[in-house]
Homo-oligomer: A and B are copies of this chain.
Amino acid sequence: MATVSDITVSAAINSLSALLFLVAFAILRLQPMNDRVYFPKWYLKGIRENPTTSGPYVKKFVNLDFRMYLRFLNWVLAALRMPEPELIDHAGLDSAVYIRIYLLGLKIFVPIALLAFGVLLPVNYTGGNFNTMSLSMKDLTFGEIDKFSISNVPPASKRLIVHIVMAYAFTFWTYYILYKEYKIVTDMRLHFLAAQIRRPDQFTVLVRNVPSDPDESVSEHVDHFFRVNHPDQYFLHKVVYNANRLAKMVDQKKDLQNRLIYYTNKHERKPNKRPTTKTGFWGLWGEKIDAIDYYTEEIEKLSKEEVAERERVIGDPKAVIPAAFVSFKSRWGAAICAQTQQTKNPTRWLTEWAPEPRDVYWNNLAIPFVELNLRKLVMAGALFGLTFCFMVPIAIVQTLANIESIGKVFPFLKPIINKGSVKSFIQGFLPGMVLKIFLLILPMILMEMSKIEGFVAVSALEARSAGKYHLFLLVNVFLGSIITGTALQQLKEFLKQSPSEIPETIGVSIPMKATFFITYVMVDGWAGVAAEILRVAPLIIYHLKNIFLVKTEKDRDDAMDPGSLLWPITEPRLQLYFLLGLVYSTVTPLLLPFIIVFFAFAYLVFRHQVINVYHQKYESAASFWPDVHRRILIGLTISQFTLLGLLSTKEAANSTPSLLVLPILTFWFHRFCKNRFESAFRKFPLQDAMIKDTLERATEPQLDLKAYLKDAYLHPVFKGGEIAEEDYDDDNDDRYLVATKRTLRKGSQSGTQEGSPEDIYVDADADADAHIV
């Protein structure tokens, strides 16, 4: 379809736009006023201070040292300089392993590309199919690019054997690299876990669906159950309160306080004029009133309600959820409890590893267990609908968002929109806009769906959303681009076809779509990654906040939005490149260099971002790797089936058995890797628990574990000491531990804010000074 020169032009344009982003980034990042946008991680770590305020006032905002501009690509070297162990220390294992995915892409595709260019390109180019084809057809469906693709090999040619051999070679190379990488990541994870400092989740198990007992409270029931069934290991427990309403109030209060600050600042700047607001929605309409008085009053009102709610939650036994965080005296005890079944009814006393305290998604703990099955069923249906019928709601919204509807809702706009040029603009622009907006909010929709499914850890929610997004992209971007029409139509079409025809249908269109995907890689991949490093949105928001809200240094800290890796969005998108690379490696190898450039460039950018920007919300110790591995294998399987379909249209039907072996092998490889590695990501072996326990007992014999674990799993809204009695009544027999004196080394390297959940990590570093009776 496209000539080589078309591609070259497109490549030039995209490279240029990527370069422009990079130059903009190089300039912006040197300005001191943007320092907190481009290097927030260092601020959070407490290493970087505000740029020196000495010198002329303007220097505070603009960098006038022109020599620095000359070295504008310095960040690349800086990003590469940090060695991996230091990176793990600095940014956590999740981030370090995440950027290894890009490296993995390079490891897989660079040798494949070399082999493909050395072997397949000459074979394809001299295939000479086009010379024998009629000119008209050539013009219609094939471009110059296709001279290098499998399309140039005539049907039933002996040359196709080369492609089959190459498919085997690429498959085995991918297995080899994937296996090696899985092994490395597993080792990294185990090493990381072994070296990890004490964390409350190592000792804690989340118990769900505690059966109700007419004679005992949930707390008593949990205590008695574990005292009986884990007599030597049970330590203490923490019941979970349904504090969702309270948490909402706290959020609301925070929002009101922000507004108050905004108006107070405004007033300070212009002391002679009291700022006003309107009582209606978003201050857009309604009665005009004095803003400072209004918000002060509102905050006071809410504070009172909050106190009442807080008391209700603590006092009301109905606010206690039949779930609890149960802590054990050793990691060994917790590992045992997490991995075993407690009672004969498998839907009761369910135990699982507790997530990290900052990883707990508290809202979902309150979901009754019986609902979970139903919720999952409904969400599975919704996902199916969303994936295969996603055009339907879009079409409805687009119909609603046309000229007439707008005119009806906003009559005052009628005269404007009825003007010819505006009308046509809206009519041409709005439908596309709606689709774009939908695609932007799609990850949020998927996240909400995962939340409805009831997972209790943020990491689980993200993993689940990533899976959903991956399916969506696979169906709607990959299949949707190959076969035109909406996914629902495709599904209908597919069900009508025989199973062996599906790969054929896809296989035939694959070579024709090569140029489309090359463009896609450049636009979405190259330019997208370059946009990532520029951080346009955080840049704007930071400066807006800086102008309107920031008064103190702490405010400025709060205004920073380092963001995080956005795992559930970036990883599934990234998988698309693996899929494209694998699919086209045997079909149109010309696509491979574009993929390689993407992986290399993204590797640099994300390494820089991980070092300087992102602040991960939790640390899962690379527990996402089995998903990454599985999805690459899904891509590999798809590539094998498409080649199978393609070759069967090339009248090489006798190649089918030899190619059918590949997906079976891939499935077996998947099973093999799963057996070999996955449990390292899912379970905590007893031997390792025992080693850590023994080591700790030897090095810290006087550790006050009770004080350490006591408030680790407190709902964040209670952090600050309002609660934390009543649960421990029956632990006060002091059988195990008596805390005598504790010194906390505050302001340690993992600098944290007052009262945040990270407080407990300070404890972890503390030289606790207690003795065991």
> Taking each of A349, A497, A686, which has the highest tally of chain B beta carbons within 10 Å of its own beta carbon?
A686
Which residue of B229, B340, B500, B680 contacts A340 across the interface (Cβ within 8 Å)?
B340
Stretch of A531-539, A583-591, A669-677 with 4 or more beta carbons under 8 angstroms from chain B: A669-677
A339 contacts partner chain B, Cβ-Cβ < 8 Å: yes
Q: Is the CB of B680 within 8 A of A346?
A: yes
A44 contacts partner chain B, Cβ-Cβ < 8 Å: no
Which A215-236 residues sit within 8 Å CB-CB of chain B? Answer: 225, 228-230, 232
Residue of B nearest to A497 (CB): B498
Chain B residues in 8 Å Cβ range of A668: 377
CA A341 – CA B679 in complex, angstroms? 8
Which A671-730 residues sit within 8 Å CB-CB of chain B? Answer: 671-672, 675-680, 683-688, 690
A7 contacts partner chain B, Cβ-Cβ < 8 Å: no
Q: Is the CB of B675 within 8 A of A373?
A: yes
CA A679 – CA B685 in complex, angstroms? 21
Chain B residues in 8 Å Cβ range of A683: 340-341, 346
A342 contacts partner chain B, Cβ-Cβ < 8 Å: yes
> Taking each of A229, A344, A497, A498, which has the highest tally of chain B beta carbons within 10 Å of its own beta carbon?
A344
Which residue of B230, B497, B500, B686 contacts A342 across the interface (Cβ within 8 Å)?
B686
Beyond A377-B668, A668-B377, A672-B373, whether A685 also contacts B344 by CB under 8 A is yes
A495 contacts partner chain B, Cβ-Cβ < 8 Å: yes
Q: Is the CB of A677 within 8 A of B500?
A: no
Chain B residues in 8 Å Cβ range of A499: 495, 498-499
A190 contacts partner chain B, Cβ-Cβ < 8 Å: yes
Which residue of B228, B229, B675 contacts A346 across the interface (Cβ within 8 Å)?
B675
A592 contacts partner chain B, Cβ-Cβ < 8 Å: no
Residue of B nearest to A351 (CB): B686
A158 contacts partner chain B, Cβ-Cβ < 8 Å: no
A347 contacts partner chain B, Cβ-Cβ < 8 Å: yes
CA A373 – CA B669 in complex, angstroms? 11
A743 contacts partner chain B, Cβ-Cβ < 8 Å: no
A336 contacts partner chain B, Cβ-Cβ < 8 Å: yes
Chain B residues in 8 Å Cβ range of A676: 346-347
A343 contacts partner chain B, Cβ-Cβ < 8 Å: yes
A335 contacts partner chain B, Cβ-Cβ < 8 Å: yes
Which A488-510 residues sit within 8 Å CB-CB of chain B? Answer: 495-501
Residue of B nearest to A381 (CB): B664
Q: Is the CB of B686 within 8 A of A340?
A: yes
Q: Is the CB of A344 within 8 A of B680?
A: yes
Which residue of B346, B496, B501 contacts A679 across the interface (Cβ within 8 Å)?
B346
CA A346 – CA B676 in complex, angstroms? 6
CA A195 – CA B684 in complex, angstroms? 33
Residue of B nearest to A678 (CB): B346
Which residue of B496, B680, B690 contacts A228 across the interface (Cβ within 8 Å)?
B690
Q: Is the CB of B690 within 8 A of A347?
A: no
Chain B residues in 8 Å Cβ range of A672: 373
CA A353 – CA B686 in complex, angstroms? 17
Which A420-444 residues sit within 8 Å CB-CB of chain B? Answer: none
Q: Is the CB of A339 within 8 A of B340?
A: yes
Which residue of B190, B229, B232, B496 contacts A687 across the interface (Cβ within 8 Å)?
B229
CA A678 – CA B345 in complex, angstroms? 10
Chain B residues in 8 Å Cβ range of A496: 498, 500
Chain B residues in 8 Å Cβ range of A229: 686-687, 690
A327-368 contact mask (Cβ, 8 Å, vs B): 1 or 0: 000000001100111111011010000000000000000000
| Least distance between A277 CB and chain B CB atoms (Å) | 52
Beyond A229-B690, A495-B498, A498-B495, whether A339 also contacts B339 by CB under 8 A is yes
| Least distance between A224 CB and chain B CB atoms (Å) | 12
CA A497 – CA B500 in complex, angstroms? 8
CA A225 – CA B685 in complex, angstroms? 13
Which residue of B336, B340, B685 contacts A343 across the interface (Cβ within 8 Å)?
B685
| Least distance between A347 CB and chain B CB atoms (Å) | 6
CA A373 – CA B672 in complex, angstroms? 8
CA A676 – CA B372 in complex, angstroms? 13
Q: Is the CB of A344 within 8 A of B675?
A: no
Chain B residues in 8 Å Cβ range of A684: 341
Chain B residues in 8 Å Cβ range of A349: 687
> Taking each of A498, A501, A688, which has the highest tally of chain B beta carbons within 10 Å of its own beta carbon?
A498
CA A685 – CA B336 in complex, angstroms? 12
Q: Is the CB of B686 within 8 A of A341?
A: yes
CA A500 – CA B501 in complex, angstroms? 13
Chain B residues in 8 Å Cβ range of A335: 340
Which residue of B347, B373, B495 contacts A500 across the interface (Cβ within 8 Å)?
B495
Beyond A495-B498, A498-B497, A500-B495, whether A344 also contacts B688 by CB under 8 A is yes
Listed by A's residue number, 23 A-B pairs whose Cβ atoms lie within 8 Å are: A225-B687, A228-B690, A232-B232, A335-B340, A339-B339, A339-B340, A339-B341, A340-B685, A341-B685, A342-B686, A343-B685, A343-B686, A343-B688, A344-B687, A346-B676, A346-B680, A373-B671, A495-B498, A495-B499, A495-B500, A498-B498, A498-B499, A498-B501
3 A-B pairs with the lowest CB-CB distances in the bound complex, closest first: A346-B679, A339-B340, A341-B683
Given A344-B687, A498-B501, output 9 extra A-B contacts at Cβ < 8 Å.
A190-B344, A225-B687, A228-B690, A339-B341, A340-B685, A342-B685, A373-B671, A377-B668, A495-B500
